[in-house]
Structure 1
Amino acid sequence: MAVMDADRLNPVILITGATSGFGHGCARTLAGCAQGGLILVDSDETSLCAAADELGARGPVPERVSTLAFDAADEARWAEAERFIKGQYGRLDWAIVNAPALQPSAGDLVEWGQPRHLEGVYHSLRAVMRLMQDNSAGGAIIVSATAGELKSDAKTSLMQLLRAAAKEGAHDNIRVNALLTAGGADTPRWSELPWFRDLVRSCGDPQAALERIGQLPEPVARYAGADDIRRLIAMLLSDDSHMTGAALVVDGGYTL
């Protein structure tokens, strides 16, 4: 299924966590169809500029690419970002919201039952959905690379946030879904694990290490790569998709 649909010829796309991991991969994938504009959000301004320059070097990019450097958990900065996007682009069609590593937290809950460790996701969703309300349509995807590691309270918080956002957005034809990856997916977090770094040294390179892991008795003897995740994102963003409030676990059966 193509990312761009016939009835959305010039989408404006926003991606948080755009300088690394799946956020950066999504920026590369979606740049070619973001004819209306591409907005990259991350906390590191230098990395954002480098990511935007890389997009330009790789091939066709939108005429307008904006980089917004701020902490996604900063509500005031999101208010500024909304004003900027309305003034420069007039609307927002799609958003990829990359969640940080989720750990249980005893923080206070706010409007959508969101504890402190999900503040960035919460404020990101609130902002992008307000912008999409002007179109009476839109699509947002939460990407979390911790599916196999979520403890029950952290996972419950994420699911509660997802369902509340999807329910609220449905009135304006805004679809909100989530992709949970880990275990059977090759996520950037693998490189942070000491045992995986040891395996890379033993096997010679990261791909060989993943192939070695894929030979273990998993339901699917192949680790999902970034391209697999990006194809699912394209499907969920498509106007043909009727899914909302869904959390797709992409791990090759690792958590079964």
Structure 2
Amino acid sequence: DPELWHRATEGCDTLDLAVLNAGRADAAPLVDIDFLQWRQVMAANLDGMMLSLQYAMRAMAASGGSIVQTASISGIKAEPGTAAYAASKAGVIQLAKVAAKEGAAQGIRVNAIAPGGVDTPIWDQVPMFRDLVDQEGSRKAAIAALGRMATPLGRYARAEEIAAQIGFLLSDAAATITGTVLVSDGGYSL
């Protein structure tokens, strides 16, 4: 809701750093996706990201800044049953690249991070994961099993690790990095 964004940010005219993070998962084969579910995923993951990016870039226009958007390895590597989520995150990646090009003249850097498996609550929405929790006996064991199955490094990332990588992209140490996608997936996409 653009009007909600306008009201929520009224009086906040400057911004130096922004982390734009949205994630709503859905799992269904493309031929079975309910259109309402598709729209809900797109609204959260892509429409929300665009509105956030629009506000952040406007607030950074006078003095520059750095933005990191959370995409996903699903936006790069295709997997069956992920059409809505994957399409939304691929859109986030392209949105970051366009924004980087548009914002460069104003000193605005825009990057994306594309995590693979990360131990976050988004997994709890996925029916397959709930089944794995039952099979493995706990949520922690299910996350460990997924990491062993899916990545050459044999584990999923912790949220703190992804946060540190985002911190790097926001920092002056990454001052010449814009329009890039940092893939942090334990080798899943290899």
Could you tell me which residue of structure 1 aligns to residue 38 of structure 2?
A: none
- Name 1:133's counterpart in structure 2: 61
* CA distance in structure 1 between the aligned counterparts of 2:120 and 2:135, rounded to whole angstroms: 20
Structure 1 or 2: larger strand share?
1
Following the alignment from structure 1 to structure 2, what is the Cα–Cα distance between the partners of residues 218 and 123? 33
Per-residue Cα deviation, 1:154-186 (whole angstroms, up to 9, x for no partner): 45533331111111111111111111223x332
Q: TM-score, normalised by structure 2?
A: 0.75
Measured on the aligned residues, the alpha-carbon RMSD in Å equals: 2.8
In structure 2, stretches of 5+ residues that fail to align are 36-41
TM-score in terms of structure 1 length:
0.57
* 1:94 has 2:17 as partner: yes
Mapping for residues 1-256 of structure 1, pairs under 5 Å: 74-86=1-13, 91-101=14-24, 118-134=46-62, 136-145=63-72, 147=74, 151=83, 154=88, 156-182=90-116, 184-216=117-149, 218-241=151-174, 242-256=176-190
Identity %: 40
Distance across 2 between alignment mates of 1:194 and 1:201: 11
Q: Tell me, in whole angstroms, the C-alpha distance in 2 between the residues paired with 1:208 and 1:214.
A: 10
* 8 Å Cα contact 1:82-1:131 kept in structure 2: no
Distance 2:118 2:103 in 1: 29
Query: Structure 1 counterpart of 2:177, which letter?
Result: M
Shift of 1:141: 1.1
| Cα shift at 1:210 | 1.7
Which consecutive residues of structure 1, in runs of 5 or more, have no partner in the other structure?
1-73, 107-114
2:10 match: secondary structure: helix
Which structure is higher in RCO with an 8 Å CA cutoff and minimum separation 6? 2
Equivalent residue letter for 2:2: E
> 3-state DSSP class of the match of 1:243?
coil
Q: Is the 8 A contact 2:49 2:92 kept in 1?
A: no
Cα distance 1:213–1:79, how it changes in 2: closer, same or farther (>3 A)? closer
Q: Give 2:110's aligned amino acid.
A: V
The one-letter amino acid paired with 2:94 is Q
Greater fraction of residues in helix: 2
Equivalents in 1 of 2:167, 2:122: separation in Å? 22
The verdict on how the C-alpha distance between 1:203 and 1:153 changes in structure 2, with shifts beyond 3 A counting, is closer
2:70 aligns to what SS in structure 1?
Answer: strand
Number of aligned residue pairs = 169
